[in-house]
Amino acid sequence: MKKASWMFMALVLSAGFATADEKEGISLTVYPDFGVVHETRNVDIPADGKVTFADVAGKIDPTTVRFESLTDPEAKILEQNYQYDLVNPWRLLEKYLEKPISVRDDRQTYSGPLLSFSEEQLILKDKSGLVIIARSGVRNIRFGAMPEGLRIRPTLLWKMAAKKRGKHLTRVSYQTNGLTWYARYSLIMDRKDSNADLSGWVSVKNNSGKTYRNAKLKFVAGDICRISDPDEWGDDDNWGDDDDDDGDDMHEKAFFEYHMYTLQRPSTLADNEIKQLEMFTPARGIKVAKRYLYNPLGEIRVVLGELENRRTYGLANVSKKVNVFIEFTNSKKNKLGIPLPAGIVRVYKEDPDDKSLELVGEQRIDHTPTDEKLSLQVGSAFDVVGERRQTDFKTKTDLMLEGPYEHLLTETIEIKVRNRKRQDVTVRIKEPMYRYENWKITEESHPKKRVGKDGKLDSRTVAWDVPVKAGKEVVLTYTVRYMW
């Protein structure tokens, strides 16, 4: 389990003082992989100061508990025990070893001390001696009182110091595993792929071992540092992607270096439940653009300062696929301008024949502030294909080259893009200069289509935006010179 960070302490210390109309209630602040429970509850502090605080989360981190009495600010916890040994048939049998129980099978009732048990049988000592009872025939088992140390639900036991005895209105905060949330988005494209509607949902999962009734819900988005301690109790959950609809708009605000989303009404989050909540009112008619990218070599690179002069380098595993991207700007001008938490964007398009929305791709996004651009790779084009080959390769040494260089390598590349669609497209062809850090393109077929500052995307990447008419093929060639 992971311990609470300074971030958690700042959060709980901001609780402040009681207001005159403060009532019992519960609120949750859910992070991507844990939660913080804030509960206002009436607690009875007796003369001996021993308090049982039951019905806490089953995956609570008891080291993060913070107590505050709104009735007596000087009241404090002197000692805390966390008891999580919960009642179940197996634990009852363990607790009753060498103690009397009563067992009824198909024929009769046996009573006596329990000597041993397993999944197949029970061994008792009754009046006549040892009795072995098959578990398959057992109809019921009767125990005496609840064994000491067993609990119906996880419980905190406190030894308290308080000047005022009796009922206190208290605030209790703690951190728990088993609570998590994530964002999911739906982007619905129009027929021309030029406009779209975007909706966003918070999916929150509760496996913390507690149901939170009529809770105030907050969700924090951001990359928060936490300490992992393998010696702590509990574990994290891996879980799927089920959905339950329960929509409502949320209030968003900046919070420290993160963003917080607050549901504007209470909601019940049951244990072992996934709930969906609307994050924002859907944005209608945002401007989008469909882009095609042919990047046949992927992210091939040579370590900076090293040379790769094999003729065959970069010729294997060349892709023919032209990737499709949907791009838009997250700005108010574009009818959006909402800080978008990390999550998955699913892109849909309407089938005009039956008006059904069909999935055309999905992509995971990182936390995206306002005024940033999103580029979603949704798939590969069926009717636009590429082809790349080397047409010339030469090396020379001991030449009088410019600067300190003594070696020269030239390579000529031919790239074809075929458009089998009925519409014209523009394809960005992206090429890494992957042999050495000192390079220069000496010849090219489409110099006016080169993009980027000074004709480069970065110091080792070039690209061309090449129009390809419907049913046609475009051939792009370039020669690059490497020197060392």
Place of tokens 């397993």: 118
Cα–Cα–Cα angle for 89, 206, 370, rounded to 5 degrees: 165
Choose among 144, 152, 137: nearest CA to 107: 137
Residue among 35, 397, 466 at smallest CA distance from 224: 35
What integer pLDDT is reported at residue 250 of this predicted model?
A: 83
Report the pLDDT value the prediction gives residue 307, as an integer from 0 to 100. Answer: 78
Q: How far apart are CA 172 and CA 29, in angstroms?
A: 14
Q: Rounded to two decimals, what is the model's pTM?
A: 0.77
Residue 165 has which token pair?
């005895």
Exposure of 388 by Cβ count < 10 A (0-12 exposed, 13-18 middle, 19+ buried)? Answer: buried
- Name residue 54's beta-bridge partners: 155
Hey, where are the domains in the chain? 89-142, 288-330+372-483
Residues of the chain with pLDDT under 50: 1-20, 233-247
Max CA-CA distance within the chain?
109
Please enumerate, as own/partner, the contacts of 313-319 that have beta carbons within 8 Å and a separation of 24 or more: 313/434, 313/435, 314/390, 314/434, 314/435, 315/389, 315/390, 318/388, 318/389, 319/295, 319/386
> Cα–Cα distances in Å, from 395 out to 61, 421, 431?
65, 41, 21
State in Å, rounded, how far the first CA of the chain is from the last one.
53
CB of 3 closer than 8 Å to CB of 229: yes
Task: Please give the helix or strand (H or E) that residue 446 lies within, else none.
Answer: none
Query: Under a CB-based contact definition with an 8 Å cutoff, are residues 63 and 4 in contact?
Result: yes
340: DSSP letter: B
Identify the pLDDT of residue 249.
66
Q: Which of 158, 168, 152, 175 is nearest to 57 (CA)?
A: 175
| Dihedral pair phi/psi, residue 92, rounded to 5° | -60, -45
4-58 pLDDT, tens digit per residue, is 333 333 333 333 344 446 789 999 999 999 999 999 999 999 999 999 999 999 9
CB-neighbour burial class of residue 20 (10 A; exposed 0-12, middle 13-18, buried 19+) = exposed
From the candidate CATH numbers 2.30.30.520, 2.70.70.10, 1.10.275.10, 1.10.10.60, the one assigned to the domain spanning 89-142: 2.30.30.520
Q: From residue 330, how far is each of 158, 190, 250, 292 by CA, in Å? A: 50, 18, 18, 21
- Residue 59, C-beta contacts closer than 8 angstroms, at least 6 positions apart: 1, 176, 177, 178, 207, 208, 209, 234
Long-range contacts of 210-214 (CB under 8 A, 24+ apart): 210/37, 210/55, 210/56, 210/57, 210/58, 210/176, 210/271, 211/268, 211/269, 211/270, 211/271, 212/26, 212/28, 212/37, 212/268, 212/269, 213/26, 213/268, 214/25, 214/26, 214/266, 214/267, 214/268
| Residue corresponding to tokens 């913080």 | 36
pLDDT digits (tens, 9 = 90+) for 135-155: 888 888 888 887 776 666 788
Nearest to 247 by CA among 273, 212, 276: 276
